[in-house]
Amino acid sequence: MYIGVDCGTQSTKVVLIDVEGERILGEASRPHRLDEGEGGRREQDPGEWIAALRGAFAEVLATTGVDARAIRAIGVSGQQHGLVALDATGEPVHPAKLWCDTETAAWNAALIERLGGENGCLDRLGLVLQTGYTASKIAWLRDTRPEAYARIATLLLPHDYLNFWLTGERVAEAGDASGTGYFDTRTRHWRHDVLAEIAPELEAGRVLPRLIASHEPAGTVRPEVARELGLGEGVLVSSGGGDNMLGAIGTGNIRPGLVTLSLGTSGTVCAHSPEPVVSDSAMVANFCSSNGGWLPLVCTMNVTSATTRIRELFGLDLATFGERVAAAPIGAEGVAMLPFFNGERVPMLPEATASLDGLTSVNTTQANLCRAVVEGATLGLRYGLDQFGRLAEGVREIRLIGGGSRSPVWRQMVADVTGSRVICPEIADAAALGAALQAAWCHHQFQSGGGELADLCARLVRLDEASRAEPDPASVDAYRDVYARYRRCLAERHATH
């Protein structure tokens, strides 16, 4: 048996799989609180992640009846980019600043300039720094919280922190490290010189975790944690990775020709590449994958976070919200929304706000507003897919994951907006499944030096045929006009920022 953990923005999920029986035995989750503030502040208490992991782990064992001593390895996926700075005792010096935190936008812009602009970033890192990456969070902490900054002994990411709690080891792997802003994504090494530009007082060799390969274990579960969870001795913890990297594994996206698109709190579009990627767009991040290759990726910051705001504004449950979206026509009778409630990364508008356009006394209806926010989030992902250029050519299908993928209306909208076949895996939380698959791969490699991740994916990543959505030609044509209008709205917004 193998456990996969996914620590997201809103909750921590746990999946339990039986590899020999080729079965997903159970899932459970526990929520945690997001602390929001003026200026784009988005923070969380890392202690809540551990509490959620404990609760979800206990529930999945209770509901499946599995003896915890049958578990051989654990894999952890985590929200990318979050800064978890620890002191010498292993305690956070400040709440974790998250991927969606835009309070550090000015620090990010200053770092890009200091590194020589976009070309300088590409030369040193293989990608261009974006607001939300870990680098600007460290710079912000240095300038605004000097007492906390002075106590830093270790710099970790959220999934690294959970690995540290499980094993006591301070390690990192290339996929998640790609989003820090001080890691060369082509050579898979820390850039000590870049960290020195960000935080000159911190000694890179002391504060940065040890890098391990994707198939290597981070360590074994500490005896006191094993006793608490009911585990046997010597349970391995795999390298883990960022949620996007483990989500790709959980959809079987470990070879060219597929695109994984996530309708989560944020939205992501990614595709596998066997070699580093240099895109024509600075918005495409040349991230490493968590299985040895590369994962060029685009991330938008407002997807279910945006639709939830409108749904809750009207006091609608999910089913009723879906009915309202379906009741409105394509284009929402001229109502267009740029749902940039959290600022936006793609397009690069970190300080933008949400806006509505085209409202009249006739079209201002609940249904049109509900559809407009879903269309706005989806068109933003289409814009991100366009940034891939030739990388998106020849894609056979889009594998859709995240909470929004459960909506038939939204699945069809993605198919029509992109003009591509869409299908969901049976497990919507692909990151937790990917973490469990990576744990099994790590255990097999550790035991015998054999076992292929592709074989594990083929056996356990199952597609839900009932979720398949084919693009409707008439709707594809209609969305061309809607998308053209979206691009015009974006151009106007860029002109004012």
Tokens 């590899």, residue located: 19
Taking only the tens place, the pLDDT of each residue in 165-224 is 999 999 999 999 999 999 999 999 999 999 999 999 999 999 999 999 999 999 999 999
Q: Is residue 130 part of a domain?
A: yes
Residue 204 structural domain:
2-244
Q: Is residue 302 part of a domain?
A: yes
Report the distance separating Cα 335 and Cα 468, nearest Å: 28
pLDDT score of 394 more than 70:
no
Q: In whole numbers, what is the pLDDT of the chain averaged over residues?
A: 94
Report the distance separating Cα 135 and Cα 208, nearest Å: 12
Render the burial of 354-381: b for 16+ CB within 10 Å, e for the rest: beebbeeeebeebbbbbbbbbbbbbbbb
Beta carbons of 71 and 104 less than 8 angstroms apart: no
H helix or E strand, kind and range, residue 194: helix 192-198
Same domain, 271 and 389: yes
Same domain, 213 and 264: no
User: 34: which DSSP letter?
Assistant: P
Q: Is residue 402 part of a domain?
A: yes
Report the distance separating Cα 24 and Cα 11, nearest Å: 20
Same domain, 230 and 259: no
Picking from 244, 260, 285, the residue at the C-terminal end of a domain is 244
Report the distance separating Cα 342 and Cα 354, nearest Å: 8
Taking only the tens place, the pLDDT of each residue in 335-349 is 999 999 989 988 888
Same domain, 180 and 41: yes
- Which of the two residues, 99 and 389, has the higher pLDDT score? 99
pLDDT score of 67 more than 80:
yes
Same domain, 218 and 272: no
Q: Quote the longest CA-to-CA distance of the chain.
A: 69
Same domain, 157 and 259: no
Q: Is residue 450 part of a domain?
A: no
Range in 48-52, 257-261, 393-397 the model is least confident about = 393-397
Average pLDDT rounded to a whole number, residues 69-81: 97
Average pLDDT rounded to a whole number, residues 439-456: 89
Same domain, 334 and 471: yes
Range in 29-33, 41-45, 386-390, 465-469 the model is least confident about = 386-390
As for how many domains the chain has, the answer is: 2
Picking from 244, 279, 302, the residue at the C-terminal end of a domain is 244
Q: Is residue 390 part of a domain?
A: yes
Same domain, 239 and 259: no
Taking only the tens place, the pLDDT of each residue in 288-307 is 999 989 999 999 999 999 99
The residue from 101, 160, 176, 243 that is catalytic is: 243
Report the distance separating Cα 274 and Cα 255, nearest Å: 8
Q: Which CATH number belongs to the domain containing residue 386 in this structure?
A: 3.30.420.40
Report the distance separating Cα 87 and Cα 272, nearest Å: 36
Q: Is residue 447 part of a domain?
A: no
- Looking only at the bridges linking them, the beta strands covering 171-173 and 210-212 are parallel
Taking only the tens place, the pLDDT of each residue in 21-63 is 999 999 999 999 999 998 899 999 999 999 999 999 999 999 9
Q: Is residue 382 part of a domain?
A: yes
Same domain, 212 and 267: no
Same domain, 175 and 262: no
What's the whole-model pTM score?
Answer: 0.89
Same domain, 15 and 91: yes
Taking only the tens place, the pLDDT of each residue in 109-158 is 999 999 999 999 999 999 999 988 999 999 999 999 999 999 999 999 99
Cβ neighbours of residue 21 under 8 Å, at least 6 residues apart? none
Same domain, 233 and 289: no
Active-site residue, 386 included: no
Confidence of residue 496 (pLDDT cuts 50, 70, 90): confident
Bridge partners of 85, per DSSP, are 155
pLDDT score of 392 more than 80:
no
Picking from 222, 244, 266, the residue at the C-terminal end of a domain is 244
Q: Is residue 167 part of a domain?
A: yes
- What pLDDT sits at residue 370? 98
